[in-house]
Amino acid sequence: MPSRPSPVRPRFEPVHGPAGAPPGGARPPAGAPGRPASGTAARPRRRPRRWVRATARVVLITGLFAGVLWGGAVGVAAWLERMDAEPRVVRCAAALDGTDWYLEPGQADVAALLAGQALARGLPARALTIALATGLQESKLANIEHGDRDSLGIFQQRPSQGWGTPEQVLDPVYATNAFYDALVKVDGYDRMAVTEAAQAVQRSAFPDAYAQHEVRARAWASALYGYSEATVTCTLDQPDGPGDPQAVVDRAARDLGLAAVVREDGAVVLDATPLGASPEHAERLGWGVAHWAVAVAHPLALTGVEHAGAAWDREDGWGHRPSDAPALAPGQVVLHLAD
């Protein structure tokens, strides 16, 4: 007897819900866990749309890129502006016959000392020209602590040759006066060629080397003796701090032998009249002192100098004094300091 065929299984099994749930995935009754209360439609949870996130990302990246471009453009523009602007060269100059003869601020500081000592001693401008040419050749107008063998200082004076102790020749005031003491003993030095007069004092192995500095030295000597007006100027950075009126008073006494008066506003007033044999030289000597003040503007933090009808400003150079400024007496020089 043939066997009975096995019952045919359905192709798909029914889908069952959670354990204990009716077959076929029937929904649990209202109020049961996992089903919203009766009357409330079940809403599927929505995920953020991808296009919204993508758009936000694009906006953010675009904004950052634009910021970088703008910042770069500003930086490039500033760089180009700096390139176009003429760079500030910190230096001092004395003009002679339409030519500027430059010194570094440190060299101008030494030149001011040499000029002040020569003026205070009543020496002719030729003596200053010789001293400047000598200092330029020997040390580039610097108080150096080394040299050939035992040579030291501005003039490279040798203690072993009777110029003084090492400490003395490294004192700028002592060294300057030692040079002038030797120079005035040279008969007719003020009529000699600069290089001959310098060699008579220095006894250098290179006696002709001083001649190359003669014109620069003459330009500065003429200005620092007041024979040319408003011809020394310095291009300087702004002072690092306020000026000290007492330091100006002390420097004027050291270099020029002049007493100074400090006004209530902090300005320092100098009178150049005692430097001359007669009052008629007061205005010229005032120009010498005014140029001296410009030359020491860097170490003394000076921002302005006034003499006669002119005024020097650290930013703009020489110009006219304000029309409403009080008149200055002949030989009077006013020095203004940084606040």
Mean pLDDT, the chain cut into blocks of 10 residues (339 residues total): 46 45 46 48 54 58 55 50 66 97 98 98 98 98 93 97 97 98 98 97 93 98 97 97 98 98 97 92 97 98 97 96 92 98
- Same domain flag for 258 and 216: no
- Same domain flag for 204 and 270: no
167-168-173-179 Cα dihedral, nearest 10 degrees? -130
Does 305 fall in a domain?
Answer: yes
- Same domain flag for 191 and 275: no
Q: Domain boundary residue among 166, 197, 225?
A: 225
Domain count, the chain: 2
Q: Tell me the one-letter amino acid at 271.
A: D
- Same domain flag for 209 and 243: no
Cβ proximity of 217 and 194 under 8 Å: yes
Query: Helices (DSSP H) in the chain: which residue ranges?
Result: 50-84, 105-121, 125-139, 166-169, 172-183, 194-202, 214-224, 245-256, 282-295, 297-300
- Same domain flag for 242 and 220: no
- Same domain flag for 203 and 129: yes
Cβ proximity of 220 and 92 under 8 Å: no
Does 270 fall in a domain?
Answer: yes
Does 339 fall in a domain?
Answer: yes
Cβ proximity of 259 and 305 under 8 Å: no
- Same domain flag for 94 and 217: yes
pLDDT at 18: 46
- Same domain flag for 194 and 319: no
Does 3 fall in a domain?
Answer: no
- Same domain flag for 183 and 242: no
Does 133 fall in a domain?
Answer: yes
Q: Is residue 91 classed as helix, strand or coil in its secondary structure?
A: strand
Q: Domain boundary residue among 179, 201, 225?
A: 225
- Same domain flag for 221 and 289: no
Record the tokens describing residue 75, joined without a space.
């930086």
pLDDT at 279: 86
Cβ proximity of 134 and 210 under 8 Å: yes
Does 11 fall in a domain?
Answer: no
Does 63 fall in a domain?
Answer: no
Q: How far apart are CA 106 and CA 249, in angstroms?
A: 20
Of 306, 309, 127, 319, the closest CA to residue 225 belongs to 127
Query: What is the 3-class SS of 218-282, one letter each residue?
Result: HHHHHHHCCCCCCCEEEECCCCCCCCCHHHHHHHHHHHHCCCEEECCCCCEEEECHHHCCCHHHH
Q: How far apart are CA 273 and CA 281, in angstroms?
A: 8
- Same domain flag for 179 and 263: no
pLDDT at 48: 52
Q: How far apart are CA 304 and CA 318, in angstroms?
A: 9
- Same domain flag for 262 and 176: no
Length of the chain measured in residues: 339
Does 317 fall in a domain?
Answer: yes
Q: Domain boundary residue among 225, 250, 283?
A: 225
Range of the domain at 303: 238-339
